[in-house]
Structure 1
């Protein structure tokens, strides 16, 4: 365990609900399948939208096989025809989104050297102009590729559902903006380690 993770667990344990949840839940595994490759992670996130993990993996594998070295470099991606990209199992809308990522990356740097000095919110605002990339997508990137420690993806349905189950007294009967405000207030106690808390929430089995 790194000093930062130990500090995160010690801090989060001050919340008795999270302390119980962590005690009941195996340590979340931290995966970074893209070795800090933000561009590739954005492409994969678009392919994965609204389909199962198994289907997304199969389509993304076929998509990468369209390229001679297995990597969809932006200029090579933009040279592919719609028919070629459809052959991987991509919808017309997702093809446009993938092309949008490629076009953006040719004009705007999205490597770690450029993004690391930026705040979390600055990165969100920098990337959401890309078609098909919303706040939730960027927050997943912040958590799983850029390793940002204090991300709270409130738009994630599982996070909201698990928090409602874990904190019934604070959330009972609340909806809409009132619920969001209550969840933000709960999560404020987790700062500056909200990413770790959310990893446990995802893995927790109520």
Structure 2
């Protein structure tokens, strides 16, 4: 049903037909000792503006700083800047990671808690954390919470693919307006449309 709806957009229909189906595998079993939302935010911050390979290496070293391989919030806020830098983290990212931990100590972040909120409520709930922007929360909505109607317009690849596919010439605010107009027709399946755009080779 979702593909039939998206295929009403004839340009997107061609993309879907020429692109392998996105693999979607979600595990809703949540270990109460390891908060997936919290961990996903930490990993997202580590991966900002560096290659996937470098991010994986640094995140592995970061996790190794903790006795059981999990950065419990109370342990993370107690780490010194030197300890965090030893994992390859910049000073700024170290501050951001500890900001996530401090937030987690004061606010519920379980999947059960966030599931009761709308997409925009979750964005506004998590945005006060230093280092967490709208794009970061949207990735969490799409890949951890499996929200079906997220359109990450701030994602550079999404914008580039849409500009190419739809032959757009607008720039600035006019471009964003046009992108939103196109994506509006994909509701309520904008997450799936975005996943196809990411996989599309053009």
The TM-score range, normalised by the shorter chain, is: over 0.9
4+ runs deviating over 4 angstroms: 31-36
Provide the C-alpha distance between the structure 2 equivalents of 1:43 and 1:10, rounded to a whole number of angstroms: 36
Q: Look up the match of 1:67.
A: 66
Q: Look up the match of 2:100.
A: 101
- Asked if 2 retains the 8 angstrom alpha-carbon contact of 1:152 and 1:187, the reply is yes
Provide the C-alpha distance between the structure 1 equivalents of 2:18 and 2:104, rounded to a whole number of angstroms: 42
Alignment root-mean-square deviation, CA: 1.4
User: Taking structure 1 as reference, are residues 102 and 33 closer, same or farther at Cα in structure 2, changes over 3 Å only?
Assistant: farther
Provide the C-alpha distance between the structure 1 equivalents of 2:61 and 2:193, rounded to a whole number of angstroms: 35
Q: Look up the match of 1:91.
A: 90
> What is the CA-CA distance between 1:138 and the residue it aligns to?
0.4
> What is the CA-CA distance between 1:30 and the residue it aligns to?
2.4
Give the alignment of 1:96-135 within 5 angstroms: 96-135=95-134
Give the alignment of 1:14-163 within 5 angstroms: 14-30=8-24, 37-163=36-162
> What is the CA-CA distance between 1:109 and the residue it aligns to?
0.6
Provide the C-alpha distance between the structure 1 equivalents of 2:156 and 2:4, rounded to a whole number of angstroms: 27
- Asked if 2 retains the 8 angstrom alpha-carbon contact of 1:124 and 1:138, the reply is yes
Q: Structure 2 stretches of 5 or more lacking a match?
A: 31-35
1:139 partner SS: helix
Deviations 1:104-156 (Å, cap 9, x if unpaired)? Answer: 01111111111001110110011010000000000000000010000000011
User: Taking structure 1 as reference, are residues 39 and 143 closer, same or farther at Cα in structure 2, changes over 3 Å only?
Assistant: same
Count of residues in correspondence between the two structures: 197
> TM-score, normalised to structure 2's length?
0.94
> TM-score, normalised to structure 1's length?
0.93
> What is the CA-CA distance between 1:202 and the residue it aligns to?
0.3
Q: Structure 1 stretches of 5 or more lacking a match?
A: 1-6
